[in-house]
Structure 1
Amino acid sequence: MARIAFILLCHKDPDAIIRQAEMLTAVGDYMSIHFDARAKTEHYRKIRSALADNPNVTFARKRIRCGWGEWSLVQASIHAVEAALEAFPRATHFYMLSGDCMAVKSAAFAHEFLDNDDADYIESFDFFESDWIKTGIKEDRLIYRHYFNERVQKKRFYAAYHLQKKLGLTRSVPADLQIQIGSQWWCLRRRTIEWILDFTRKRRDVMRFFATTWIPDETFFQTLVRHLVPEKEIRTRTLTFLMFTDYGMPVTFYNDHYDLLLSQDALFARKISPEATELKTRLGALYANEEATFQISDEGRNLYKFLTGRGRVGRRFASRFWETESSLGRERELMIVICKKWHVAKRVIQRIRQVANVPTIDYLFNEEDTPLPDLGGIQATLGKRTRHRRALMRMLFDYFDTDRLIVCMDPSNLELLHDFAGDRSTTKMLEIQCEFTDAYLTGHAKRVGLAGEQTSAATLERLLPTIRGDMTYESDRIRDADFEHHSVIREGAEPDENAPQIARFLDIPPEKALEIAETPKLFAD
Structure 2
Amino acid sequence: MAKIAYILLCHKDPAAIIRQAERLTAAGDYMSIHFDASADADAFREIQTALADNPNVTFAHKRIKCGWGEWSLVQATIYAVQSAVDAFPRATHFYMLSGDCMAIKSAEYTHRFLDDNDADFIESFDYFESDWIKTGWREERLIYRHYVNERTHKKLFYAMFEAQKRFGIKRKIPADLQIQIGSQWWCLRRNTVEAVLEFIKKRPDVLRFFRTTWIPDETFFQTLVRHLVPENEIRARTLTFLMFTDYGMPVTFYNDHYDLLLSQDYLFARKISPEAQDLKRRLGLLYAAEGVDFQISNEGRSLFKFLSGRGRVGRRFATRFWETESTLGRERELLIVVCKKWHVAKRVLERIRQVTNVPAIEYLFNEEDTPLPDLGGIQNTLEKRTRHRRALMRMLFDYYETDRLIVCMDPSNLDLLNDFASDRSVTRIMEIECQFSDDYLIGHAMRVGLAGDQTSKDTLARLLPTIRNDMLHESDQLNDAEFENHCRMREIAGSDENAQELGHFLNIPMDKAAEITRTDHLFSD
TM-score, L = length of structure 1: 0.99
Residue 120 (structure 2) aligns with? 120
Q: Distance in 2 between matches of 1:196 and 1:379?
A: 50
Task: Tell me how far 1:315 sits from its aligned partner.
Answer: 3.4
Give 1:309 shift. Answer: 0.6
Greater shift, 91-100 or 342-351, is seen at: 342-351
Is 1:499 aligned to residue 499 of structure 2? yes
Kept in 2, the 8 Å contact 1:317–1:419? The answer is no
The match for 1:360 is 360
Provide the secondary structure at the position in 1 that maps to 2:53: coil
Matched, 1:48 2:48: yes
Cα distance in 2 between the residues matched to 1:230 and 1:480: 58
The residue correspondences of 1:403-418 to structure 2 (distance < 5 A) are: 403-418=403-418
1:93-108 paired onto structure 2 within 5 Å:
93-108=93-108
Q: Does the alignment pair 1:110 with 2:130?
A: no
SS of the aligned residue for 1:301 comes to helix
- Aligned residue identity for 1:85: V
Per mean C-alpha deviation after superposition, the further-off stretch among 242-251 and 306-315 is: 306-315
The match for 1:57 is: 57
How far 1:79 sits from its partner (Å)?
0.4
Query: 2:278 maps to which residue?
Result: 278
Q: Distance in 2 between matches of 1:260 and 1:318?
A: 41
Query: Residue 307 of structure 1 aligns to which amino acid in structure 2?
Result: L
1:382-461 equivalences in 2 (<5 Å):
382-461=382-461
Give the superposition deviation at 1:74: 0.4
- 1:392 positional shift: 1.1
Q: What residue in structure 1 maps to residue 332 of structure 2?
A: 332
1:351 to partner: Cα distance: 1.1
2:262 maps to 262
Q: CA RMSD in A?
A: 0.9
Does residue 325 of structure 2 align to residue 314 of structure 1?
no
| Cα offset, 1:312, TM superposition | 1.3
Q: What does residue 488 of structure 2 align with?
A: 488
Change beyond 3 A, Cα 1:317–1:358: farther
**Which residue pairs with 1:376 in the alignment?**
376
* TM-fit CA distance, 1:356: 0.8
1:3-402 → structure 2 map (5 Å cutoff)? 3-402=3-402
Cα shift readout 1:112-138 (whole Å, capped 9, x = no counterpart): 111101000000100000010011110
Between the aligned partners of 1:510 and 1:132, the Cα distance in structure 2 is 58
DSSP-derived class of the 2:288 partner = coil
C-alpha spacing 1:187/1:382, structure 2 compared with 1 (3 Å): same
Structure 1 distance, partners of 2:509, 2:219, is 69
Deviation at 1:317, TM superposition (A): 4.2
Q: What is the one-letter code of the residue matched to 1:301?
A: R
- C-alpha displacement at 1:316, in angstroms? 2.8
Contact 1:325 / 1:391 at 8 angstroms: preserved in 2?
Answer: no
3-state secondary structure, aligned to 1:178: coil
- Name the SS for the 2:58 alignment partner: strand
Letter in 1 for 2:287: Y
Query: Does the aligned pair in 2 maintain the 1:491–1:523 contact within 8 Å?
Result: yes
The whole-number CA distance in structure 2 between the counterparts of 1:398 and 1:275 is 63
AA at the equivalent of 1:191: N
Q: Secondary structure at the match of 1:337?
A: strand
Q: Structure 1 stretches of 5 or more lacking a match?
A: none
Measure how far apart 1:166 and its partner are: 0.9
Provide the rounded CA distance (Å) in 2 between the counterparts of 1:217 and 1:374.
50
Q: Counterparts of 2:457 and 2:450 in 1: how far apart (Å)?
A: 13
Q: What code does the residue aligned with 2:89 have?
A: P
Structure 1 residue ranges, 4+ long, deviating more than 3 angstroms after superposition: none
| Cα displacement (A) at 1:313 | 2.8
Amino acid at match of 2:126: D
* C-alpha distance in 2 between matches for 1:314 and 1:13: 40
Following the alignment from structure 2 to structure 1, what is the Cα–Cα distance between the partners of residues 350 and 317?
32
* Distance (whole Å) between structure 1 residues aligned to residue 238 and residue 315 of structure 2: 37
What one-letter code is carried by the residue in structure 1 that aligns with 2:282?
R
Cα deviations across residues 238-290 of structure 1 (Å, max 9, x unaligned)?
A: 00000000000000111111111111110000001111111111111110011
Using the TM superposition, give the Cα deviation of residue 520 of structure 1 relative to its aligned residue in structure 2, in angstroms: 2.1
Aligned-partner Cα distance in 2 for 1:225–1:522: 59
TM-fit CA distance, 1:365: 0.9
CA distance in 2, matches of 1:325, 1:437: 44
In 2, the alpha carbon distance for the partners of 1:459 and 1:348 equals 34
TM-score by length of 2: 0.99
Partner SS state of residue 519, structure 1: coil
For the residue of structure 2 that corresponds to 1:37, the secondary structure is: coil
Letter in 1 for 2:172: S
Measure, in 2, the Cα distance between the counterparts of 1:100 and 1:301.
19
* Aligned AA (2:164): Q
Shift of 1:318: 2.5
Change (3 A) 1:193 1:150: same
Distance in 2, matches of 1:140 and 1:321, equals: 34
Distance 1:18 1:12 in 2: 11
Q: How many residues align?
A: 525
Distance (whole Å) between structure 2 residues aligned to residue 406 and residue 100 of structure 1: 55
Distance 1:176 1:439 in 2: 57
1:31 Cα deviation from its structure 2 partner: 0.4
Deviation at 1:314, TM superposition (A): 2.9
Mapped to 1, the partners of 2:456 and 2:483 lie a distance apart of: 41
Post-superposition offset of 1:403: 0.3
